[in-house]
């Protein structure tokens, strides 16, 4: 089974790289009698369009059909998709691919000065730790500021490194384009 996935990844990369796209993930799924190959694609610094998905789907399907031995026995549906704006990162290749993107991190144990939920710029994996630049705490209790509670700010190192064993999730965080940021007019 893993050999099938590895071969599909190779074929997917061979059709996506010339188009400036990267393969994020390839999964084989089974829903009842329906089998599918789910391919997730990404463009660094840009958006994935429906045309991108359609182009990769057609080219990958042709590449799979041209294989001398079947990649999968029987019929299947090929699905090509974008990673989504709030994708949960799970694999080492995703941490490398999405380096430079803003992420939301949730941890099991609080990180000094940040608590257990914060955002920052993903730098990638450093051994068994996730590296985050410019971390910013996500307020646990927005009413605390309204009540006038004085909160002592703790200096947070920059960048920070969080062991993967302490991480609940790392998700891509949608960012507003500069022309969409609200102004006080």
For position 39, which CATH number holds? 3.30.300.70
Domain boundary residue among 24, 59, 81? 81
Residue 4: per-residue pLDDT: 83
Three-state DSSP class for residue 157 = coil
Residue 185: per-residue pLDDT: 44
Residue 140: per-residue pLDDT: 53
Asked if 170 and 97 sit in the same domain, the reply is yes
Domain boundary residue among 81, 108, 136? 81
Pairing of strands 77-81, 160-163: unpaired
Residue 153: per-residue pLDDT: 55
Domain boundary residue among 81, 113, 148? 81
Number of structural domains the chain divides into: 2
Q: What is the residue range of 126's domain?
A: 92-174
Please state, in angstroms and as integers, the Cα–Cα distance from residue 133 to each residue in 104, 115, 144, following that order: 12, 16, 26
Tell me the C-alpha distance between 110 and 101, whole Å: 22
Asked if 129 and 164 sit in the same domain, the reply is yes
DSSP designation for 95: H
* Maximum alpha-carbon separation in the chain: 71
Residue 19: per-residue pLDDT: 94
Domain at 106, CATH number: 2.30.30.100
Residue 86 lies in a domain: no
* Residues of the chain with confidence (pLDDT) below 50: 141, 144-152, 176-185
Residue 183 lies in a domain: no
């Amino acid at each position: 089974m893993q050999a099938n996935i590895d071969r599909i990844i190779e074929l997917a990369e061979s059709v996506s790289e010339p188009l400036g796209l990267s393969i994020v993930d390839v999964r084989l799924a089974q829903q009842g009698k329906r089998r599918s190959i789910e391919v997730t694609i990404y463009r660094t610094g840009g958006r994935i369009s429906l045309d991108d998905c359609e182009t990769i789907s057609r080219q990958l399907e042709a590449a799979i059909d041209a294989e001398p031995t079947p990649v999968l026995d029987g019929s299947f549906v090929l699905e090509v998709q974008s990673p989504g704006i709030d994708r949960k990162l799970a694999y080492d290749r995703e941490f490398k691919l999405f380096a430079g993107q803003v992420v939301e991190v949730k941890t099991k144990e609080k990180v000094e000065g940040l608590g257990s939920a914060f955002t920052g710029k993903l730098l990638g994996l450093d051994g068994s730790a996730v590296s985050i630049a410019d971390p910013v705490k996500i307020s646990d209790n927005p009413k605390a500021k309204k009540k006038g509670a004085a909160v002592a700010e703790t200096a947070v190192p920059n960048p920070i490194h969080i062991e993967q064993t302490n991480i609940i999730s790392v998700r891509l965080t949608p960012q507003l384009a500069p022309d969409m940021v609200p102004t006080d007019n």
